[in-house]
Chain A
Amino acid sequence: MGSTSVNRRDVMKRAAAAGLLAVPAVGALSSCASGGGEENKAEKGEKSKKNPLGVKEDAALAVYIFNGGYGDKYAQFVTDMYADKYPKADANQKATEKIATQVQPKIVRGKPTADVVNNSGADQMNPGKLVHNKQVADLSEVLDAPSWDDPDVTVRETLVPVVEQMGRFGGRECYQLNIALTVYGNWHSKKLLEDGLDSSYPKTWDEMLAVCKKAKAKGIHGWSYPGGHPRYMFFSMYAMFAQRGGREVIEAMDYLEPNAWKHDAVKDVFEAWEELVAKKYVLTGFDGQEAHTEMQTAWTKEGKCLFVPNGSWVENEAKDTTPKDFRMTVGATPSLDSGDKMPFGTLYAPAGEPFIVPAKAKNRQGGLEWLRMMYSKEAARNLFEEIGSMPVVKGAIDGLELPSGAASAQAAIKAAGENVVIPQFMDWYNELFREDFNNMIHKFMQGQIGPKQAMDTMQKASERILKDPDVTKVKKA
């Protein structure tokens, strides 16, 4: 056997594999050229009471919608509204799974063909980079405009406040607008809690421990942990950080401030959870990629656990295994004690499905107008009917008959009022959540590390990102 020559070839193969990684890179390079900051030549019409954004009546409008789980029918409804109001305009909607591929090259070249874009899905354009390159329009104009349904109320006043917060990238400007809400928290079966365990929802951590103890006596785990996806624990922990220490604690996390993760509030929350783990109240053993569905089946069908850390999509996701009388409910995170800085009911409820308007869109005013229509009660209600997600428009689905989980989520948002908290670092520094928190919390939930190491690990990770020249930082305004 002529072995030596084969060996060399294999070495080269290996080398080639490393080399080939650069190929897509070359393509991306060639597609880039920055459009300078010249004046906007967008089409504009006369501003009037009926047309507060000054839309040019006959300017064509191009809408790009991500064609994912939500489809694009909810958006077609809005595009049709636009066509009704501006019959002379050619309002055209395109649905695609590849938003960045379809839209970004033209934005980068400074000649966007899209006037409003649903920037979502796996092929999402990096919003931070778009803002950094000044390629997206400030949408404050929409928020300041009178709302569709009532000219005396601005659009901003009709929306839950997180919408504007999530559109900001360290400044006052708002660059993206989300349309649907997700409510995170402690999901449970009201039937099991109230009838099975004869308890009410725990408002303090002591009550939580008491309920878990009661459940344990009946052979039920108070909690559950989807080990294959450790990050789910964040859904039930995050609001507690804020509740315990106030907004300054979570802001410090967002802005990678020194000792952000070493705050006493963070320590208290980790210690509370440590007790839950140490007392073996947590159901574990869901290890694979399907960990969350396994956990949800154990929760809904088998009744093995009381609380699951989850988001409002769970009602739809676990629909097939949920018994009719399950009465799925979301509860806000319990208070630790009276020393908490924010009241019980503080809710981790971010908005999703972001929309942007390219800074140089040909019919920019039309794009803004489209968003104003999206935030009409009519369109919001239609959104809920089409996709089952809660719209960000306040009171839009009042009076509709909601399924148990959605109704409880709606109630939780109402109860939270202003006390809604959003981890912006998840958008800005995703690896801090997706990798560092994820890896750390797994060891924590396994009882391998305690609060101190948990805090050290997160602080170290936060500092690493702060120092990393490859990560663009968002500065506090």
Chain B
Amino acid sequence: MRTDTRVAKPPPSKKRAEPEAPPKPANGLLLCLAFLLPPGLTPRRVRYDRRYRTLDKYRFIVGFLAVPLAFYALFVVSPFLQAIYYSFTDWSGGPVANFIGFDNYRKMWDDERFWDSLEVSALLLVIAPLLTLVLGMFFAYMITAGGRHRRGQAIAGVVGSSFYKVVYFFPQVLSVAIIAVVWGRVLNTNSGLINGGLEKVGVDGPAWLGGDHALGVLSLLTVISWSFVGFYVVLFSAAMGAIPKDIHEAALLDGAGRARTFFSVTLPLIWDTVRTGWIYMGIQALDTFAICLVMVPSHVLKVTPVFLYERFRDGQYGYATSIGVVLLVLSMVFSLIVMRAGNRDRIEY
């Protein structure tokens, strides 16, 4: 934070000729009280204190942060601490919640259903960001730099790029439930759009959501990527648009093709954004719930949040919250790894 506050100027002194003797430094208690006083009411002795400046600066910052932080503590931090507490109890919705130590975690460790669901979630965590980000980057690059070179412009998007930018964003506007229901219909074995199309060309479409685990994962991945890719197209096009044109011009003059320009110029310059997107998408993948719950029948596969939901439904609240805590730890570990792994020197431009 470099935000400078206004500096309290010494009030014009009455006797100019006589330079004022520096006031006695204020004691700590007075300084603390001054935190709450407006500068006009603060004794001069305090205002002239060296430490007053620091105090004034932090007072300014606290003034802005106090309310949001209080809300954050009330609505985010506290429920989340409560969840951690409940994960150590056998609470089932009744009047008693007995503390049972790590029993829920032990049960989870032995629960095959948990591991099955985690396998799917982990797969999504690894593949979904990769797929979505690569697609998002490709589309964004096409939109910003994929087109023909027009006169006077170093780079240009493909024809109709501004239209595409909007279209890609559509799924982001739809509610997740709608996406899940619509895709559920599209992937339907007997009457779905995909198998209907395949039938027209004489191919018997598979039962996408009909029980095959691999096909189920594939369908889920496709739908997740489809629904999130638009967001990354917009994110990456903004990042690419912020790169000065002359850098691209220079690359062009040096004879770099589109691919070379992308890997040697564009990608390094938007790396920070990519890393952010990667973490964000990873967390969203780990958090996949509604799409899986609505679209994929539970006997085909389930992700960990769906498994958690089912435990809630059965009134095993203690156990369910412990699964939630594990998911929290996993997301944090994932973010840390990506931040570490993706750490590069930032290029200023």
Q: Residues of A at under 8 Å CB distance from B? A: 1, 3-4, 6-7, 10-23, 25-26, 28-29, 32-34, 108, 126, 129, 133, 227-230, 284-289, 294, 430-431, 435, 438-439, 442-443, 446, 448, 464, 468-471
With a CB–CB cut-off of 8 A, which chain A residues contact B185? 288
A3 and B276 in contact, given A11-B331, A16-B80, A19-B83 (Cβ under 8 angstroms): yes
A438 and B273 in contact, given A1-B239, A287-B209 (Cβ under 8 angstroms): no
Asked if B143 is at the interface (CB within 8 A of a chain A CB), the reply is: no
CB distance from B173 to the nearest CB of A (A): 20
A10 and B103 in contact, given A1-B273, A287-B189 (Cβ under 8 angstroms): no
A470 and B275 in contact, given A15-B80, A19-B83 (Cβ under 8 angstroms): no
With a CB–CB cut-off of 8 A, which chain B residues contact A229? 297
A471 to B315 CA separation, bound complex (whole angstroms) = 9
1/0 per position for B101-121, CB-CB distance to A under 8 A?
001000100010100000000
A400 to B319 CA separation, bound complex (whole angstroms) = 52
Which single member of B76, B95, B207 contacts A227 (CB below 8 Å)? Answer: B207
Which single member of B92, B184, B319, B324 contacts A18 (CB below 8 Å)? Answer: B324
Taking a contact as CB atoms under 8 Å apart, the answer to whether B298 and A18 are in contact is no
Known: A11-B279, A20-B80, A129-B315. 5 other contacts (CB 8 A): A10-B280, A16-B80, A21-B324, A126-B315, A470-B318
With a CB–CB cut-off of 8 A, which chain B residues contact A228? 297
Taking a contact as CB atoms under 8 Å apart, the answer to whether B190 and A286 are in contact is yes
CB distance from A204 to the nearest CB of B (A): 31
Taking a contact as CB atoms under 8 Å apart, the answer to whether B287 and A17 are in contact is yes
Asked if B86 is at the interface (CB within 8 A of a chain A CB), the reply is: yes
Asked if B90 is at the interface (CB within 8 A of a chain A CB), the reply is: yes
Taking a contact as CB atoms under 8 Å apart, the answer to whether A25 and B332 are in contact is no
Enumerate the 8 nearest inter-chain pairs by beta-carbon distance, A residue then B residue, closest first: A19-B80, A32-B95, A19-B79, A18-B324, A22-B83, A287-B210, A3-B276, A470-B316
**Of listed B279, B287, B312, residue having the most chain A CB within 10 A:** B279
Taking a contact as CB atoms under 8 Å apart, the answer to whether A285 and B328 are in contact is no
A284 to B190 CA separation, bound complex (whole angstroms) = 9
- Interface size class on chain B is 35 or more
Taking a contact as CB atoms under 8 Å apart, the answer to whether A287 and B188 are in contact is yes
Asked if B327 is at the interface (CB within 8 A of a chain A CB), the reply is: yes
With a CB–CB cut-off of 8 A, which chain A residues contact B103? 469
Complex interface residues of chain B between 311 and 338 (CB less than 8 A to chain A): 312, 314-321, 324-325, 327-328, 331-332, 335
Could you list 20 examples of A-B contacts with CB < 8 Å?
A1-B276, A11-B279, A15-B332, A16-B79, A18-B327, A19-B324, A21-B79, A22-B82, A25-B93, A29-B97, A32-B94, A129-B315, A227-B189, A227-B297, A287-B189, A287-B190, A288-B297, A431-B314, A438-B299, A468-B107
A to B contact number (C-beta, < 8 Å): 162
Taking a contact as CB atoms under 8 Å apart, the answer to whether B184 and A288 are in contact is yes
Taking a contact as CB atoms under 8 Å apart, the answer to whether A7 and B331 are in contact is no
Taking a contact as CB atoms under 8 Å apart, the answer to whether B211 and A442 are in contact is yes
Taking a contact as CB atoms under 8 Å apart, the answer to whether B321 and A22 are in contact is yes
A108 to B95 CA separation, bound complex (whole angstroms) = 10
With a CB–CB cut-off of 8 A, which chain B residues contact A21? 79, 83, 312, 320-321, 324
**Of listed A26, A133, A228, A284, residue having the most chain B CB within 10 A:** A228
With a CB–CB cut-off of 8 A, which chain B residues contact A448? 211
Taking a contact as CB atoms under 8 Å apart, the answer to whether B331 and A33 are in contact is no
Asked if B283 is at the interface (CB within 8 A of a chain A CB), the reply is: yes
A21 to B339 CA separation, bound complex (whole angstroms) = 27
Taking a contact as CB atoms under 8 Å apart, the answer to whether A11 and B283 are in contact is yes
With a CB–CB cut-off of 8 A, which chain B residues contact A284? 207, 210
Q: Is the interface of B mostly helix, strand, loop or mixed?
A: helix
CB distance from B181 to the nearest CB of A (A): 8
Which single member of B95, B207, B325, B327 contacts A29 (CB below 8 Å)? Answer: B95
With a CB–CB cut-off of 8 A, which chain A residues contact B339? 4, 7
Asked if B49 is at the interface (CB within 8 A of a chain A CB), the reply is: no
A22 and B210 in contact, given A3-B276, A442-B299 (Cβ under 8 angstroms): no
Which single member of B184, B207, B287 contacts A285 (CB below 8 Å)? Answer: B207
Taking a contact as CB atoms under 8 Å apart, the answer to whether B91 and A1 are in contact is no
Asked if B199 is at the interface (CB within 8 A of a chain A CB), the reply is: no
Taking a contact as CB atoms under 8 Å apart, the answer to whether B211 and A446 are in contact is yes
**Of listed B79, B325, B331, residue having the most chain A CB within 10 A:** B79
A3 and B321 in contact, given A285-B190, A289-B184 (Cβ under 8 angstroms): no
CB distance from A297 to the nearest CB of B (A): 10
With a CB–CB cut-off of 8 A, which chain B residues contact A288? 184-185, 188, 209, 297
With a CB–CB cut-off of 8 A, which chain B residues contact A464? 111
Asked if B249 is at the interface (CB within 8 A of a chain A CB), the reply is: no
Taking a contact as CB atoms under 8 Å apart, the answer to whether B328 and A14 are in contact is yes
Taking a contact as CB atoms under 8 Å apart, the answer to whether A287 and B297 are in contact is yes
Which single member of A7, A23, A438 contacts B279 (CB below 8 Å)? Answer: A7
CB distance from B117 to the nearest CB of A (A): 12
With a CB–CB cut-off of 8 A, which chain B residues contact A438? 298-299
With a CB–CB cut-off of 8 A, which chain B residues contact A227? 189, 207, 210-211, 297
Asked if B191 is at the interface (CB within 8 A of a chain A CB), the reply is: yes
A285 and B283 in contact, given A1-B239, A16-B76, A16-B79 (Cβ under 8 angstroms): no
A18 and B325 in contact, given A25-B91, A288-B184, A431-B314 (Cβ under 8 angstroms): yes
Q: Which residue of B lies closest to A298 (CB)?
A: B190
A294 and B299 in contact, given A3-B273, A470-B319 (Cβ under 8 angstroms): no
Asked if B167 is at the interface (CB within 8 A of a chain A CB), the reply is: no
With a CB–CB cut-off of 8 A, which chain B residues contact A1? 239, 272-273, 276
Which single member of A14, A23, A285 contacts B189 (CB below 8 Å)? Answer: A285
A430 to B300 CA separation, bound complex (whole angstroms) = 19
Taking a contact as CB atoms under 8 Å apart, the answer to whether B299 and A7 are in contact is no
Q: Which residue of B lies closest to A443 (CB)?
A: B211
With a CB–CB cut-off of 8 A, which chain B residues contact A15? 76, 80, 328, 331-332
With a CB–CB cut-off of 8 A, which chain B residues contact A26? 82
1/0 per position for B66-106, CB-CB distance to A under 8 A?
00000000011111111100100011111101000001000
Which single member of A34, A230, A471 contacts B299 (CB below 8 Å)? Answer: A230
Taking a contact as CB atoms under 8 Å apart, the answer to whether B82 and A19 are in contact is yes
**Of listed B107, B297, B320, residue having the most chain A CB within 10 A:** B297
Taking a contact as CB atoms under 8 Å apart, the answer to whether B283 and A25 are in contact is no
Taking a contact as CB atoms under 8 Å apart, the answer to whether B190 and A294 are in contact is yes
Q: Which residue of B lies closest to A446 (CB)?
A: B211
With a CB–CB cut-off of 8 A, which chain B residues contact A285? 189-190, 207, 210
A439 and B299 in contact, given A23-B79, A288-B209, A431-B314 (Cβ under 8 angstroms): yes
With a CB–CB cut-off of 8 A, which chain A residues contact B93? 25, 28
Taking a contact as CB atoms under 8 Å apart, the answer to whether B335 and A11 are in contact is yes
A18 to B319 CA separation, bound complex (whole angstroms) = 13
With a CB–CB cut-off of 8 A, which chain A residues contact B86? 22, 25
